[in-house]
Chains A and B, each alone.
Chain A
Amino acid sequence: MIKMGIIKTEQLVHEFIRRDEDQNVESITTALDHINLDIKEGQFIAILGHNGSGKSTLAKHINALLTASEGTIWVDGMDASKEENKIDVRRRAGMVFQNPDNQIIASVVEEDVGFGPENLGVPTGEIIKRVDESLRAVGMTKYRNHSPNKLSGGQKQRVAIAGVVAMEPKCIVFDEPTAMLDPNGRREVLKTAHALNREKGVTVLFITHYMEEAVDADYIYVMENGKIIMHGEPRTIFSRVDELKAHRLDVPQVTLLADYLKKAGLALPGGILRRRELVKGIVKAGWNAAGLSPAAPEDGKRSRKQEESGENGQDLKPDAIILDHVNYCYSPQTAYQIQALKDVSLRIPQGQFIALIGHTGSGKSTLVQHLNGLLRATSGHIYVDGKDIYDEDYDMRSLRGRIGLVFQYPEHQLFGATCFEDVCFGPKNRGLDQRTVELRAFEALQNVHFPEELYYQPPFDLSGGQKRRAAIAGVLAMKPEVLILDEPTAGLDPAGRDEILELIDGMHRELGITVILVSHSMEDAARYADRIIVMNQGTVMYDDVPKAVFSHYRELEAAGLAAPEMTYIMQELKEQGLSVDVDAESIEEAGMSILEALR
């Protein structure tokens, strides 16, 4: 036999069969549809695709957690479907899961890392050695005696990775390990995966829906509807921009800009992946770039935002919320005392779209919980429509109706027997009559474009994106004047993320709701917000229009945040001597400005 790769599949099919109570087949979902893979040892493979594309199902096959309906999968030459190979397959192909909390078994970091080797029956002395080595490999030695609960998301994932490394697998499957992390955590995990691949020669299968995480892979597979629809080296894949867009993948801004410039006739090489390549390419191509004409902007969405924000800057509407020297302290007078907010003063006028940006622990979630009275400031005042909400006779419950707060992962609060019933919860609590309650629920569900056939379905069976819509409708049904959303796109794939953001933008425009969007993402803020408030260590670092905030990109970086990719590209081009507009936010603006400068 010819030597096969470490993972090989042949016509692999997996069907999820749903049965009713009498064991009759209700529906069949084909999660994997005749997959053929052959992965060589020592490679770094990225698998891209949306939620529901079958990539997680594939991962579970590699780990023998699922058994194929048809076809075969071999892991290191062993047939994974055979019961007697199961343990051997799992020790050779380890797996890191999406949720950092739900895969850590022990209450102390090092004991968790030792869990795998314990299961394998490794002798005690050897376990300690492996734990030491694994923790070192992921850079978590310092935390070995800590409780996982006190770690950040990225650190928890690194512990989980160490737990797999300690089993000394030949191959590690990462099943969307970054989906629930903030940008810093994502970088940590990706870096760790690459280091393991490089230094220990471990084969890595990195499943993700973020394309920029696939840039440094050796080979990329793109999945959709259980099939592999594209595969190739990053450069080849990234040069097929139109196809990627058609599959609603999240093409990195560098690649999009390169594609735009190329279409305008600039002589750039195909498949540009990194910022440096693009800047170099543009400067080089600039020499013979006379007589180029920029393509017309694709849509008018962006220019609209510009006009509007200009208006808003002129005549400010009355303030909906005023924060006056607000301080907040968690667990005062204990060892865990944290000053979460320090002297925060803000004015939030009606009708604005504000992005509240900051890394994890910067105080942004604490801040928004003050706005509807869920947390009470240690000192300072908050005025809503001119009234101090800390006055004794202030009606807190009506405040919560007027300032709607959508928490992170809002779908986790769904409880109703049907989606409709769940959405009714808010208005019902306000003591409205049945008719008004139902009317409001209908309206709210319509406003989030929730499909009508799902109104009377239990919320638990829906897809992630639909659940989130239902949960947002639950807050919207209270008819808030201000809508605060705490990372409404966390954990969604790029297509789901764009849909939710468009939805919020639509509500802002059509219903005139004041929106406060809490986010890690400068890109989202740049696209939608009139104003950006940057939080850092409990204080307001910047509070201005996006362009002005991004001009401080170096300071933002020092605070653990990054300006949008576009800002960096334009700044670097400027340093290269091109007179480009460094404030450009969209691809079209940037592209036109570059072409202009080259001419």
Chain B
Amino acid sequence: MIRDITIGQYYPADSVLHRLDPRVKLFGTLVYMIALFCFKGLLDLGLITVCLIALISLSKVPFRFMVKGLKTIVVLVLITALFNLLFTPGKFVIWSFWKFQITDTGIRNAFLMTLRLIYLILGTSLMTLTTTPNQLTDGLEKALSPLNAVRVPVHAIAMMMSIALRFIPILIEETDKIMKAQMARGADFEHGNLIRRAKNMIPLLVPLIVSAFRRADDLALAMEARCYNGGTGRTKMKPLCYDAKDRRAYLLCVLFLAAVIAARILLPFPQ
């Protein structure tokens, strides 16, 4: 169940997307998100769909993996779709009951919102599946390094992020184990009202927190033993530097955004 989250799970493969500089991918994801929330019309939709499909096939990540990430947001998508469907006022009312009404605009909005959310998850998963968490934090660290000037500890934040990413799967596994161990002692995590259930979580949360602290302690010691001393004087094993393909990718991102905006202005129909 909780094991199915794809976000933050790197899929090792050798593709153009895997080799791109993480900063390009971050930028690309940003552009993609902007495009998703400002597109209008079938042409735009087609453009984005074609790009997404092209990128997914370029990434060499099996489509199943991306769909797995979607499973976790099914509920969210359904709720959003339902709200849009039932509460949007519009010209033609197809069906109405008490405060609910289904209109043509409602149907369209529900459809678009669902599509947006699915595309959003697919696109961002694509980035995290092709970028190791460390590359990602490296990318963020470098991209945000101007913030150092205003005393934001960018290096420390990046380090914390990469450690968090490393330990998420371990802690998930541990949660699973403790849960089973308490169930073996007759614990019940599924029944009862909200308060009861929250109370029943104590036998799970206390050992989990204790273990997290123990791990943090161990890790801090191990890092110190390997001469970690903060960001100063560090070199990089894989320093980020752009090459020709990264520049081309930047260009493509900009072109993509321009095309989406152009299509929005020139051909916003049918909405």
Contact = CB atoms under 8 A, between A and B. Distances in A.
Interface of A: 60, 63, 65, 87, 90-91, 94-95, 97, 99, 101-108, 110-111, 114-124, 127-128, 131, 145-149, 163-164, 167, 331, 334-335, 369, 372, 374, 397, 400-401, 404-405, 407, 410, 412-415, 425-426, 429-430, 460, 474-475, 478
B226 A115 contact: yes
A105 B235 contact: no
B239 interface: yes
Nearest to B183: A374
Given A105-B223, A116-B227, A414-B207, A122 B162 contact: no
Nearest to B203: A415
B197 to A, nearest CB: 14
Contacts of A163: 226
The CB with the most chain A CB atoms within 10 A, among B184, B222, B227, is that of B184
Given A103-B219, A111-B238, A413-B207, A119 B184 contact: no
DSSP majority for the B interface? helix
B166 A106 contact: yes
Contacts of A91: 227
A599 B221 CA distance: 59
Contacts of A103: 218-219, 222
Contacts of A400: 183-186
B180 A407 contact: yes
Contacts of A426: 185-186
B99 interface: no
A94 B227 CA distance: 9
Given A374-B184, A425-B203, A94 B132 contact: no
B186 to A, nearest CB: 3
A99 B218 contact: yes
Contacts of B151: none
B261 interface: no
26 contacts: A60-B221, A94-B226, A97-B221, A97-B225, A103-B218, A103-B219, A103-B222, A104-B166, A105-B222, A107-B10, A111-B134, A115-B228, A123-B235, A145-B12, A148-B166, A164-B226, A331-B3, A334-B64, A335-B65, A400-B185, A405-B181, A407-B181, A412-B174, A412-B210, A415-B206, A425-B182
Nearest to B210: A460
A149 B182 CA distance: 24
A118 B238 CA distance: 10
Given A103-B218, A429-B187, 9 more contacts: A90-B227, A99-B215, A105-B219, A107-B10, A107-B134, A120-B227, A372-B184, A415-B207, A425-B185
A575 B224 CA distance: 53
A96 to B, nearest CB: 9
Given A120-B227, A478-B185, A412 B166 contact: no
Contacts of A131: 237
A94 B187 CA distance: 44
Q: How large is the interface on B (under 10, 10 to 19, 20 to 34, 35 or more residues)?
A: 35 or more
Contact of A124 (B62, B170, B207, B239): B239
A156 B128 CA distance: 24
Contact of B227 (A119, A146, A147, A474): A119
A149 B169 contact: yes
B206 A107 contact: no
Given A407-B181, A425-B185, A429-B186, A121 B218 contact: no
Interface in B1-18: 3, 10, 12
Interface in B157-209: 162-163, 165-166, 169-170, 174, 177-178, 180-188, 202-203, 206-207
Contacts of A149: 169-170
Nearest to A148: B166
Contact of A90 (B187, B203, B225, B239): B225
